[in-house]
């Protein structure tokens, strides 16, 4: 019989596999994360260098002011709802569904006002939409 006291081994924690797993998770998160900085963008719209605007025989010009008022073919639209703009578009579209809607919006117009015109055109069955812009030479002269 052996009555000598035995030396007990202390359990040890191996940190190397734990660190390896954490590094893999960190690399995965770094690769899949997108960094968007919308607050740093400063936009000045609309300016475009394009050919001179052609005269469309079937055009419907929708002007949108910076405070959200609408005019369809130089006639003011009463109200700012989609239904009011859609009614004005229906009245102004002489060529029916072949009419081209030209959105002429102020550079400071809220995005929602332009979307309202696009939704009204969709409800009226007008699918051809374009935007009026000014050339950068004209913008610089002002």
Q: Which two tokens stand for residue 132?
A: 């009026």
**Domain-located, residue 41:** no
Report the SS3 class of residue 28. helix
**Domain-located, residue 120:** yes
d(CA 118, CA 124): 10
CATH at 78: 3.30.420.270
What are 67-86's pLDDT values in tens digits? 888 888 888 888 888 999 99
The arithmetic mean of pLDDT across residues 51-80, rounded, is 78
- The residue segments making up the domain with residue 128 are 59-141
Q: Please report the pLDDT score of residue 79 as a whole number.
A: 84
Q: What global pTM score does this model have?
A: 0.56
**Domain-located, residue 21:** no
């Amino acid at each position: 019989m052996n009555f000598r006291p035995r030396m007990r081994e202390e359990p040890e924690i191996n940190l190397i596999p734990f660190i390896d797993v954490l590094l893999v998770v960190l690399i995965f998160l770094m690769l899949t994360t997108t960094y968007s900085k919308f607050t740093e963008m400063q936009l000045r719209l609309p300016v475009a260098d394009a050919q001179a605007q052609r005269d469309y025989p079937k055009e419907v010009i929708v002007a949108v002011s910076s405070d959200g008022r609408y005019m369809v073919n130089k006639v003011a639209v009463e109200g700012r709802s989609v239904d009011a703009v859609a009614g004005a578009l229906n009245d102004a579209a002489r060529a029916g569904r072949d009419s081209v809607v030209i959105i002429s919006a102020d550079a400071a117009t809220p995005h929602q006002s332009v979307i309202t015109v696009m939704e009204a055109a969709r409800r009226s069955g007008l699918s051809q939409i374009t935007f009026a812009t000014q050339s950068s030479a004209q913008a610089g002269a002002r």
